[in-house]
A and B are shown apart, each in its own frame.
Chain A
């Protein structure tokens, strides 16, 4: 399982961070546009449900969970 965030689409909502804080964290950037940072690019299987929920719930559909 691989977690990919499209930073062109990410709006820094933080829904992913709430759904799977082990995998995602919203960080500020110097230009002031907060975005999601992937903490675990290849998370363990037991986090699959949370990762998939983050993918589904992202308001900008910026997350892809690839197998």
Chain B
């Protein structure tokens, strides 16, 4: 595509750019690490250092319009030297205003602390045995066919049950969770703009409200009870609503994103047989391979911040009320930070420095869980599926693949991934370590 086309295309309208936005990010980067795009006046941040700077500064930049960005419906114009009062007055009307991701300090600090002991290495280790079993059970459902639609048959149910287990949802509810939450994911469509569909969230809200109320009445020795009993740092007990919203948010945040990550991983493995072989024989390379998949695939491509006061970023003036689009997908390919940024290198020494999980106070709380799910999935799938190939019937031949991506600038990942493979002799339990 010629540069002229990028000048006229509005990135925020549904269109072909979403099938591969990376050339568009390079077009942005040519104008500088921070650049005001001409259609909506959004400051587009593609530079690594500049993205980190925004993440660092939760005083200047508010998360209130995280999803809606420039399309947020403010009842008054965002005018003045400091728009904080306007933000505080109207932020509750914006999408996801009851979710941690849109909070700012001090409220953010207090609520984030409730999560503190929930996704710790200790808890994750308890969760890990279940994850190995879950991976195997899920693989059992399709292995004999020698082919699968990877997202539907493995990634979606696996990630959903993984987070359900972490949150302590009792086993007897797992089937219901699967049914209610599998079909419709959060709708980030470009033509919805500020309006985000959340039917699965309603179901979660109902369920978690009743779980938490129950555990507060009758504590048990389970995770849901710890969640229900968690206090703010001053010792006060949160409202049931606050805890319920947190648990539901974790669920929603941790599900689709990890599905996308698994998709990226197996897209790479299906496309690169030599990489597959390398990882089969050198399992200790898997963690860094996962980091490279996060860097290059970045499931949450971008989100928005709102400048409360005037500042500068990357030498560009940022007036109060400016929507700033932080683009980790682009930052993750900044040549100032990553040599040969478009290449997947399992031996890249600074692969973990990617910002696919964000950074700073809003840095993804579920990152350790996502990494664990990815690692365990890679291990078992490589154990039990040999010669994993991309289905030519579904996706065309190598070099001329057809993959479909959703119409959104927020989330990235193939919608379907058809794989073929040779089932290996199913070896059951992972060797105890």
Binding site for B on A (CB under 8 A): 7-15, 17-18, 26, 28, 31-35, 53, 56-57, 59-61
Q: Give the interface centre of B117, B360, B362 by most chain A CB atoms within 10 Å.
A: B360
> In whole Å, how far is A55's beta carbon from the nearest beta carbon of chain B?
11
Residues of B349-384 at the interface with A, using a CB-CB cut-off of 8 Å, are: 352-353, 357-365, 367-368, 371-372, 375
Q: In the complex, are the beta carbons of A8 and B121 less than 8 A apart?
A: yes
> In whole Å, how far is B399's beta carbon from the nearest beta carbon of chain A?
35
CA distance A10 to B404 in the complex (A): 37
Within 8 Å CB of B125, what residues of A?
Answer: 31, 33
Residues of B120-145 at the interface with A, using a CB-CB cut-off of 8 Å, are: 120-122, 124-125
> In whole Å, how far is B232's beta carbon from the nearest beta carbon of chain A?
13
Q: Which 8 interchain pairs have the tightest Cβ spacing?
A: A59-B363, A33-B121, A11-B368, A57-B360, A13-B363, A15-B359, A8-B120, A14-B352
Q: Which residue of A10, A11, A14, A53 is within 8 Å of B56 (Cβ)?
A: A53
Does chain A have a CB within 8 A of B14?
A: no
Q: Give the interface centre of A17, A34, A53, A60 by most chain B CB atoms within 10 Å.
A: A60
Within 8 Å CB of A61, what residues of B?
Answer: 109, 112-113, 116
Q: In the complex, are the beta carbons of B357 and A13 less than 8 A apart?
A: yes
Q: Give the interface centre of B357, B362, B363, B365 by most chain A CB atoms within 10 Å.
A: B363
Q: In the complex, are the beta carbons of B360 and A28 less than 8 A apart?
A: no
Q: Give the interface centre of B120, B125, B372, B375 by most chain A CB atoms within 10 Å.
A: B120
Majority-rule SS of A interface residues: loop
Known contacts A57-B361, A60-B116, then 14 further A-B pairs from the complex at CB < 8 Å, ordered by chain A residue? A8-B122, A11-B365, A11-B367, A12-B367, A13-B359, A14-B352, A18-B353, A32-B287, A33-B368, A33-B372, A59-B359, A59-B365, A60-B365, A61-B116
CA distance A34 to B358 in the complex (A): 17
CA distance A53 to B117 in the complex (A): 22
> In whole Å, how far is A65's beta carbon from the nearest beta carbon of chain B?
16
> In whole Å, how far is B83's beta carbon from the nearest beta carbon of chain A?
24
Closest to A10 in B: B121
Q: In the complex, are the beta carbons of B361 and A59 less than 8 A apart?
A: yes
Q: How many A-B residue pairs have CB under 8 A?
A: 71
Within 8 Å CB of A18, what residues of B?
Answer: 52, 353, 359
CA distance A31 to B432 in the complex (A): 12
Q: Which residue of B119, B352, B361 is within 8 Å of A11 (Cβ)?
A: B119
Q: In the complex, are the beta carbons of A15 and B363 less than 8 A apart?
A: yes
CA distance A15 to B359 in the complex (A): 6
Q: Give the interface centre of A9, A15, A31 by most chain B CB atoms within 10 Å.
A: A15
CA distance A15 to B124 in the complex (A): 20
CA distance A42 to B214 in the complex (A): 47
Within 8 Å CB of B120, what residues of A?
Answer: 8-9, 11
CA distance A21 to B352 in the complex (A): 13
> In whole Å, how far is B402's beta carbon from the nearest beta carbon of chain A?
35
Q: In the complex, are the beta carbons of B352 and A15 less than 8 A apart?
A: no
Within 8 Å CB of B358, what residues of A?
Answer: 59
Q: Give the interface centre of B52, B361, B362 by most chain A CB atoms within 10 Å.
A: B361
Q: In the complex, are the beta carbons of B360 and A26 less than 8 A apart?
A: no
Closest to A31 in B: B125
Q: In the complex, are the beta carbons of B363 and A32 less than 8 A apart?
A: no
CA distance A15 to B189 in the complex (A): 31
Q: Which residue of A11, A12, A32 is within 8 Å of B375 (Cβ)?
A: A32
> In whole Å, how far is A54's beta carbon from the nearest beta carbon of chain B?
11
CA distance A14 to B120 in the complex (A): 15
CA distance A23 to B124 in the complex (A): 26
Within 8 Å CB of B375, what residues of A?
Answer: 32
Q: Give the interface centre of B113, B359, B375 by most chain A CB atoms within 10 Å.
A: B359
> In whole Å, how far is A31's beta carbon from the nearest beta carbon of chain B?
7
CA distance A21 to B110 in the complex (A): 28
Closest to A35 in B: B121
Residues of B86-120 at the interface with A, using a CB-CB cut-off of 8 Å, are: 109, 112-113, 116-117, 119-120
Within 8 Å CB of B353, what residues of A?
Answer: 14, 17-18
